[in-house]
Structure 1
Amino acid sequence: MEAYWTALVLVSAATHPLRDLTLKGAAHPVSCYVGVSVIWVLLAAGHAWISGTALSLPRETWPFVIVSALGLALYYYGTLSALRRGNLSVYYPIVRSSPVAIVAFSWLVLERDYASLALLGIALVLLGSLMIQKSPGGLLQDRRAFGLAVLAMLGSAAYSLSDAAAMQQVSPAPFLFFTYILVVLMLSGIRAWEDRAAEAPFLGVVRGWALAPGRIVFAGVASYLSYLLILSAFGLGAEAATVSAVRQASIPVSVILAAVVLKEPRFLHRIGWASLIGLGVLSISLS
């Protein structure tokens, strides 16, 4: 069973960077991610209809919906804002380092003990995350972008923990349907706030659709199918920290795609430190 869910997560990890790669450089990134979230709502509704699942949730699942939606909003906004300021291959590995936050939360709040191998893995991830975006003139090339990437990482940890718990109670389609309705509302509010000085701030919410409809639809479908594999792994009983660690296979993939497709520089430097991050999260998963 463990080999099966590991395979699901690895396939998901290989396809996960496609969304951020597709939307990198979009003129209105928050608006684009509102569009992606709308695609998720529609796909979840269709998924529920095809599978014969009712679009309803028990009362005890709603706290997980709220936590996941908040985590996703932080993740999307932090990721978009960081990528707007810097390269995909620099900040994506930091965003995807959520196993560190999951392990730290479990240790501090849930009072779970971790082996020395796990602590070594945390140290390797932190070192790799810092060094992958080290500039010749200083440790942090862009402190604000780094902070936004960390914010996105914390949001990713929150929704991963929440989703793992929710999948023990309900099936993916209704959970994603209601979660992403909240995400659409949150991201729309953020986009309107960014355009609050404009005469019609809510026009910014739909502006991304007009400029890049094909990219939004592709990113939405690809990311939905990718995350269904993660929820399937959670449904099989996989633990959040372990799943998030295995998902870090997406880090070298993102660095390679950024170099090949986006022509981002310093490939060898970044793939080296990305590999160190992968080694760190592997240590966490094996501990």
Structure 2
Amino acid sequence: MSFTIIVIILSAALLHAIWNAIVKSAADRTLTLGLVALGHVIPGAVMVVLLPLPDVASLGYVACSTVIHFAYYYMLGQAYRHGDLSVVYPIARGIVPALVSLWAMLFIGEVLPFWAWIGIGLIAFGIQMSSWSALRQGVGRAALGFAVATGVCISAYSLVDGVGVRLSGNTLSYWAWGAFLHIFIAAFVGLRRRSALSTLSRRTWILGLSGGLVSMTAYGLVLYAKNFAPLGAVSALRETSVIFAALIGFVFLGEGNWIRRMLAAVLMVAGVSLIGLSL
């Protein structure tokens, strides 16, 4: 894997950590997730007008990804209802690299070398270590179930979009339509919580929409990388967002044990290096 692709994916991971920090700081996470979805829709609408359609072969993948994203937002919201972010997030993200690698091997024949699997394992372990104190306190059955379901959804849309963007013939067009179709997610949240919309502060609107722009940019970078690298490896590198989030929490919010988080960061850097050197 080239150094440029690694940098692109790690940049996406940092952006992903930033928008999750925005959601974490929100008073109403459900509405904020709806605003994040709306933050995809607005630039996506402009782009679909200006760009050509992606190849017809990829349109079914865009639609399938939209349905899976809908389930992802629902599962994520339910997970946050039943468990803390510091517990739910590492579980949901930690299982994704191995699942995506498995799905890619089973469905599209992408087989990773041995050392890439070791790198994925180090990243997954580092994810868990970054929130070890919270995980040690125990995870409720509902929180665990929804967190695992969230991870399965992430792995599913990662595979679908990885195949779809390769068939699209135009990464920007595929990205634009995927973003624009978040309109169904935004509309669903808006309709369900319409009574609360009028009470939202300007700050919440700005934070939510900004989070959507950051999230959309992050996923666009990941889609681009999926054209040039195995899906499991891309997913593993992207999930380093967890350690970025942990470090942001430590530096800016005074959260957590810095020694444990730095050890987790070292493990994840080792994992990234192994993946980069073996592909």
CA distance in 1 between counterparts of 2:214 and 2:111 reads: 37
Match of 2:92 in 1: 95
Report the Cα offset of residue 253 of structure 1: 1.2
Are positions 1:262 and 2:260 aligned together? Answer: no
Q: Map 1:20-59 to 2 at 5 A.
A: 20-48=20-48, 52-54=50-52, 56-59=53-56
Q: Which runs of 5+ in 2 are unaligned?
A: none
Q: Please provide the CA RMSD for this pair.
A: 3.4
For normalisation by structure 1, the TM-score amounts to 0.77
Q: Judge conservation of contact 1:100–1:125 (CA < 8 Å) in 2.
A: no
Match of 1:13 in 2: 13
Report the Cα offset of residue 23 of structure 1: 1.8
Report the Cα offset of residue 256 of structure 1: 0.8
For normalisation by structure 2, the TM-score amounts to 0.79
Q: Which runs of 5+ in 1 are unaligned?
A: 196-200
Q: How many residues of Structure 1 are paired with residues of Structure 2 in the alignment?
A: 275
Report the Cα offset of residue 22 of structure 1: 1.1
Q: 1:264 aligns to what SS in structure 2?
A: coil
Q: Judge conservation of contact 1:41–1:176 (CA < 8 Å) in 2.
A: no
CA distance in 1 between counterparts of 2:199 and 2:60 reads: 32
Report the Cα offset of residue 126 of structure 1: 5.0
CA distance in 2 between counterparts of 1:238 and 1:93 reads: 24
Q: Judge conservation of contact 2:249–2:255 (CA < 8 Å) in 1.
A: yes
Q: Judge conservation of contact 2:38–2:186 (CA < 8 Å) in 1.
A: no
Match of 2:207 in 1: 215
CA distance in 1 between counterparts of 2:250 and 2:199 reads: 29
Match of 2:70 in 1: 73
Q: Judge conservation of contact 1:13–1:247 (CA < 8 Å) in 2.
A: yes
- The range that moved more, 3-12 or 260-269, is 260-269
Match of 2:235 in 1: 244
* Equivalent AA in structure 2 for residue 178 of structure 1: W
The one of 125, 142, 145 equivalent to 1:144 is 142
* Equivalent AA in structure 2 for residue 212 of structure 1: T
Q: Judge conservation of contact 1:69–1:183 (CA < 8 Å) in 2.
A: yes
Q: For residues 87-125 of structure 1, what are the alpha-carbon distances to aligned partners after superposition, in whole Å with 9 as ceiling and x for unaligned? A: 44x443433332111112234445655544344445445
Q: Judge conservation of contact 1:44–1:173 (CA < 8 Å) in 2.
A: no
Match of 1:233 in 2: 225
* Equivalent AA in structure 2 for residue 164 of structure 1: G
CA distance in 2 between counterparts of 1:79 and 1:137 reads: 17
Q: 1:261 aligns to what SS in structure 2?
A: helix
Are positions 1:175 and 2:174 aligned together? Answer: yes
* Equivalent AA in structure 2 for residue 216 of structure 1: G
Q: Judge conservation of contact 1:34–1:184 (CA < 8 Å) in 2.
A: no
Q: For residues 210-266 of structure 1, what are the alpha-carbon distances to aligned partners after superposition, in whole Å with 9 as ceiling and x for unaligned? A: 66111012212222222222222234x332222222223322211011123333233
Report the Cα offset of residue 21 of structure 1: 0.6
CA distance in 1 between counterparts of 2:134 and 2:253 reads: 22
Q: Judge conservation of contact 1:67–1:158 (CA < 8 Å) in 2.
A: no
Determine what percentage of the aligned residue pairs are the same residue.
Answer: 24
